[in-house]
Amino acid sequence: MPKKSGPMRIVYHLGAHCTDEDRLVRCLLKNRAVLADQGIAVPSPTRYRKLLRDTANQLRGATASQDTQAVILDQITDEDGADRLVLSWTSFLSFPAYAVGDMLYGGGGPRLRAFTQIFPDHEAEFHLGLRNPATFLPDLRERAQAKGHVDILKNVDLMRLRWSDTIRQIRADNPGVPLTVWCDEDSPLIWPEVLQAVSGHGPDIALEDDDELLAQLMTEAGLARFHAYCKEHPPQSVSHRRRIVTAFLEKFGRPEQLSAEIRTPGWSDELVEALSQAYLEDVERISHMGGVRLIEP
């Protein structure tokens, strides 16, 4: 017998590709027990990624029946009475080979609509990490080529690619679904807020191993000092913690991790600068879009 009954909020963490590399879902899985106490279910991705893709293909845009919804949920999670279910997959919007065309993730809006139609009786919520196209696009191309695909950037007008267009399409195809976004470049300063936004846990909950990103960016000695400092001088606010993180990254940051040198064959310094400037302007544009929450430092 399927165990789930009653509506809940289903949270879709959409990636994007080449951003957190499953760091977010790994942290939430490590804290599964404490989150379950708050009515938040965090199933293993192996239980739902292929299942949801196959189910969406079978439905072909139709809405799932109540029985189908219950059966799918029963296969995804064992949590009884959860009111929030967190699903994370970088290919919710698209597989890497098909992520670039006239726009970024041009089929993302309809594709998300197909996934949410698996659970039409439950509310949906989207979360998306953005990244500067000057670094994002080369990494995305490399990921697609590693799977045997051709150059996905060939004949693409790079300066036309805007995250705001992607978000506008997601909103148009999924009206009323709240969308939270952040810049991957800001993650070291806002990671606890990102984790809380996605999981929905209370502000009094401290997640275990929520510093994996800082461990990557900071020397081992620096991270130890950071923990010792925060234990002796607990941050009094979100902004206070960000100032502490900034200070420790400046002193103990790993230069090779903090500065990404962009070397892409055929890309001039002028193109990289133009893409980066357009990204900054686009993020500002996104910050004023209705129905979109931007987490920023």
Write the pLDDT tens digit of every residue in 141-157: 999 999 999 899 999 99
261 pLDDT band, cuts 50/70/90, is low
Kindly report whether the peptide bond that precedes residue 16 is cis, defined as omega within 30 degrees of 0: yes
**pLDDT tens digit sequence for 74-110:** 999 998 889 999 999 999 999 999 999 999 999 999 9
Higher pLDDT, 79 or 283: 283
Cα–Cα dist 22/20, whole Å: 6
Q: What is the pLDDT of residue 1?
A: 33
210 pLDDT band, cuts 50/70/90, is confident
Q: What is the pLDDT of residue 4?
A: 44
* Percent residues over pLDDT 90 in the chain: 83
260 pLDDT band, cuts 50/70/90, is low
| Domain ranges within the chain, ordered by starting residue | 9-208+277-295
Residue 3 has pLDDT above 80, yes or no: no
Q: What is the pLDDT of residue 5?
A: 52
Residues in the chain: 297
Higher pLDDT, 125 or 4: 125
Phi, then psi, of 135 in degrees rounded to 5: -105, -30
Annotate 115-125 with b (16+ C-beta within 10 A) or e (fewer): bbbbbeebebb
Q: What is the pLDDT of residue 6?
A: 66
Q: Which residues contact 277 (CB under 8 A, 6 or more apart)?
A: none
Give the global pTM.
0.93
**pLDDT tens digit sequence for 66-84:** 999 999 999 999 988 899 9
Q: Please report where in the chains the tokens 């065309």 appear, as a residue.
A: 101
Residue 264 has pLDDT above 90, yes or no: no
Residue 56 has pLDDT above 80, yes or no: yes
From its phi and psi, is residue 44 left (phi > 0), alpha (psi between -120 and 50) or beta?
beta
257 pLDDT band, cuts 50/70/90, is confident
pLDDT mean over 7-16: 96
> Could you tell me the end-to-end alpha-carbon distance of the chain, in angstroms, rounded to an integer?
46
pLDDT mean over 240-245: 93
**pLDDT tens digit sequence for 168-192:** 999 999 999 999 999 999 999 999 9
Considering the domain 9-208+277-295 in this protein, what is its CATH number? 3.40.50
**What is the distance, to the nearest Å, from the Cα of residue 207 to the centroid of all Cα atoms in its chain?**
18
* Percent residues over pLDDT 70 in the chain: 96
